[in-house]
Structure 1
Amino acid sequence: MSYIIDDPVNQRFLLHRAVHVSPAVLAEEMDKVFAKCWIYVGHGSELAKPGDFVTRKVAGRPVIFARDAEGAIGCFFNTCRHRGAVVATKREGNARRFFCVYHGWSYGLDGSLARIPGEDAYTGSFDRNEYGLKRPPRFEQYRDFWFMCLDPDAPALQAYLGRATEYIDLVVDQSPSGTMQVISGTQEYAVAANWKLMVENSVDDYHLPTTHSTWLNFMANSGVTIERPPREAGQVLPTKGYAISLGNGHFTTDNVNFRGRPVAHWIPLYGEAARDEIDAIRQELVERLGPERAERVANTNRNLVIFPNLVINDGSSVTIRTFFPDGPERMEVTAWALGPVEEDESARARRLDAFLTFYGPGGFATPDDVEALELVQQGMANWRSDEWSEMSRGMGKPESEQLNSDEHHLRTFWRHWNRMMQENA
């Protein structure tokens, strides 16, 4: 079935609420979405030295993300080829080999089978060269953001990302050397809601004035100018931002006026001592990138969604956020702060403060968002009697005039998701 009613003539867009509650829909998503798309694995800076590794679940698959002795980055399914046990049991570390505690099979940093206890008992057609750790069919990177794909016939990663690369470049351009670094420390939390609700929430500025009024007041009291357009004009956003479709289900918000603690804009909250340092950061950006590009990097905010489940928030700090379903009505969320490798101690402290103040699970915004999403999920219990969510806001405008408070970017996601779910139906 089609899960959307998309009627541009009557400017009407409805979403069937079964998509947020149905185990059958989730099972179908695993085959048609997560098994077909490029899914974010990690950032290369997480693996600073040969032998460094992290383990995590990606699209429900336990994987090892590792740098081998020659410095090459790889990704392997974290499953022993012998009897299927998880091989690497630590969250992260540095190793010379990966060792299965069940029967002692061990694997090199490149995934090759290194040792089998009592190997002489294996005879006949057994070939140890066939028993290295399995790899995802595709594993590629763009500017040190590494993705895997379970579909061997998928297009190359850069082709899949398409215009989204322009916005990743705006993030990486914050570094004088083009080298960004995941900062030590990870945010992890669960939300009792369907994973797709986090996609919507990550870019939905329509909820900002109501859900995040405490944060807006905090920012105003901290010296950030927030212009609230008159409500009679039909605009309730405190920013002038746009929603932009980027193809392949990707999209971004682009806040062109709101200066809510971006990378190189001073506000009183930072204190007078930070003025000169921030001026120096801005001057470096202008000299390296030119004034127009520097303005884009330093003083605009963006929330980029890479379909299906990667969000790069480039605002008060740079945050990488992924979220995976743990059943149809629960998701696991992971977020990391990202910053230029050259960043000095005081600039890094401001970045981490912003990361925690707004995005953290104990910050101003995230607890509000979690509560809102869980209330939505609770309301979905009535989906059989109230089947459709209304998502038509802004539908009568041309794409170039779609604001962050409209639902154009949400419709972009749902149209692409619905197309994928209809394939091979």
Structure 2
Amino acid sequence: MSQGADEPDSSMESGFNRVQRILDDMGDSLDVGEVPMEILNNDAVYEEELDRIFGQTWVYIGHESEVPEPGDYRQRTIGEDPFIFVRDEDGEFRVLFNSCRHRGANVCRAEKGNTSHFRCPYHGWTYDNSGDLVGVPQKSAGFDHLDADDHGLHQAPHVDDYKGLVFACIAPEAPPLEEHLGGATWFLDMYFDLIDMEVIGDPHRWEVENDWKTPTENFYGDNYHIPMGHKSAIEAGVGSDTATGEKESELYGIADCDGHAFSFYQIESDEPSYWGHPPEVVETFNHDALTEEQHEVARKSGVTLGTMFPNLSFIFLGGRDDPEKESVGTFLLRKWEPRGAGKMEVVNWVFAPKHASDEYKERVYEVGMSSFSPAGNFEVDDVGIWYGIDDAAGSVFARKNDVHTKFTMGSGDNAAATVVDDWVGPGTAYREGGMTDENQLDFYRTWYETMTDNGGM
């Protein structure tokens, strides 16, 4: 059947019109709990995301423990843009644009290190670790007109940290970081105030043929997939005590938290849980740093996970890599880096309590790697499933037939998930949190609002 005369041929749309059409569709479909599948693998949408999402919001850069000394640096990206995360000689965090002011070449080629200066390999322009231009070869002969004070490395205009987590925003104007994080700070305090944590080893990085939004949405609170998607790992007795059923827990999904979302597996027991940390490690915690309500949630926590918009997720689990071994508390922070329509790079950090023994930290790292890493038991389950989503999303069929994905679980009259009226933290808490899509819908609502903000589309 030929296309009707009044129907636009979507294959001939301009990029702007295509994005406008998709966003118009999404504005309507979100009201009924659906999302146009095309947003997961569309070149025009992706290019707009780089500008409207990663070019406008606060994005995670790294943890203070990765650059403990002046001159320590790491290469990082915001969207696809190259930056140097460095602690300068005064101890301040800098996020320097990795591009020489002369011809634009990268001034930093190593992934990490310690240096007082960055020297461009092209013509030798040299910058100190605060980004100031301090050396130009043959300056008096060819650049006597150059004002060095005006030609330092460009920098992210906004850099701030929250409890050691460093973020940057490249937009000229931005709200304060804590305003962006909103209610998420209540949860971050439970991890980074209660526990002095540090990154163990270097972050693992690997590329996946998958859109960054799929894992982001998953960590917003897709607990529905665990019994099916991770069945083999659970039956092998690895992962968390709550997943294997060794410890009974109640799952709470936290939505409506200023654009971020969380999930808590709470264990009702006289013995404190604290994500599987043993008593000798729990003794090192800063128990007075939390409110009574926060501390009670932490005490009962077997597993927590969540995402800070746009692409920073975490999972904190009391888990093990061998059913014969004791559980340890493992905190994994992961960033879903966009690398093209339907493509991403995963960056995965493992954290452990700073004051724990070296032997315990090693076990934490082992459990983290066995669970969520390029070859982790749970990671390969997810990625193997996610691959097919982007194939379908980028298909001609999906575009021509207006294919949508569904997020309506828990919206019926007899839904198992119910609102917890006496929830002590920010956001809306749902008991039986694995039986609602509200968390995931929150991600897509925030994505849509950000993509259409300031009259952008």
Q: Considering the TM-score relative to the shorter chain, is it more than 0.5?
A: yes
Question: Which residue of the partner structure matches residue 329 of structure 1?
Answer: 342
Q: Counterparts of 1:251 and 1:262 in 2: how far apart (Å)?
A: 22
How far off its partner does 1:222 sit? 9.1
Rounded to whole Å, the distance in 2 between the matches of 1:24 and 1:184 is: 37
1:211 aligns with 2:229: yes
Q: Residue 116 of structure 1: CA displacement? A: 0.3
SS at match of 1:420: helix
SS in 1 for 2:315: strand
Counterparts of 1:289 and 1:148 in 2: how far apart (Å)? 26
Task: Rate the CA distance shift 1:224–1:326 in 2: closer, same or farther, 3 A.
Answer: closer
Give the alignment of 1:22-421 within 5 angstroms: 22-123=42-143, 125-175=145-195, 179-202=196-219, 203-219=221-237, 226-227=244-245, 240-257=250-267, 265=276, 278-285=278-285, 288=288, 293-300=294-301, 301-316=303-318, 317-380=330-393, 381=395, 382-384=397-399, 385=401, 387-396=403-412, 398=419, 399-401=428-430, 403-421=433-451
Structure 1: state its 5+ residue gaps: 229-237, 267-277
Per-residue deviation, residues 53-82 of structure 1 (Å, max 9, x unmatched): 111222111101111222222110000000
Residues 113 and 258 from structure 1, CA distance in 2 versus in 1: closer, same or farther, beyond 3 angstroms? Answer: farther
Deviation at 1:88, TM superposition (A): 0.5
TM-score by length of 2: 0.81
2:254–2:430 Cα contact (<8 Å) kept = no
Q: Distance in 1 between matches of 2:435 and 2:142?
A: 64
Q: Report the count of equivalent residues.
A: 399
**Letter aligned with residue 430 of structure 2:** E
Q: CA deviation at 1:410?
A: 0.4
Where does residue 275 of structure 1 map in the other structure?
none
Question: Structure 2: which 5+ residue stretches go unaligned?
Answer: 1-22, 319-329, 413-417, 420-427
Distance (Å, rounded) in 1 between the aligned partners of 2:409 and 2:437: 5
Q: C-alpha displacement at 1:173, in angstroms?
A: 3.5
Q: Percent identity?
A: 27
Q: Is residue 5–residue 15 contact of structure 1 (8 Å, CA) maintained in 2?
A: no
SS of 2:149's equivalent in the other structure is helix
**Amino acid in structure 2 at the alignment position of 1:81:** R
CA spacing shift, 1:281–1:315, aligned 2, 3 Å: same
Structure 1 residue 297 displacement after superposition? 2.8
TM-superposition CA deviations, 1:295-321 (whole Å, max 9, x none): 533541211211000012222311110
- Calculate the aligned-residue CA RMSD, in Å: 2.7
Q: Compute the displacement of 1:289 (Å).
A: 6.0
Partner SS state of residue 111, structure 1: coil
| Residue number in structure 2 paired with 1:13 | 33
State the distance in 1 between where 2:309 and 2:187 align.
14
Q: Deviations over 1:254-275 (max 9, x none)?
A: 221399x975637xxxxxxxxx
TM-score by length of structure 1 reads: 0.86
SS of the aligned residue for 1:404 comes to helix
Confirm or deny: 8 A CA contact 1:319 1:335 kept in the other structure.
yes
Secondary structure of the residue aligned to 2:189 is helix
* Distance (whole Å) between structure 2 residues aligned to residue 193 and residue 18 of structure 1: 13
> Contact (CA 8 Å) 1:282, 1:298: kept in 2 or not?
no
One-letter code aligned to 2:345 = E
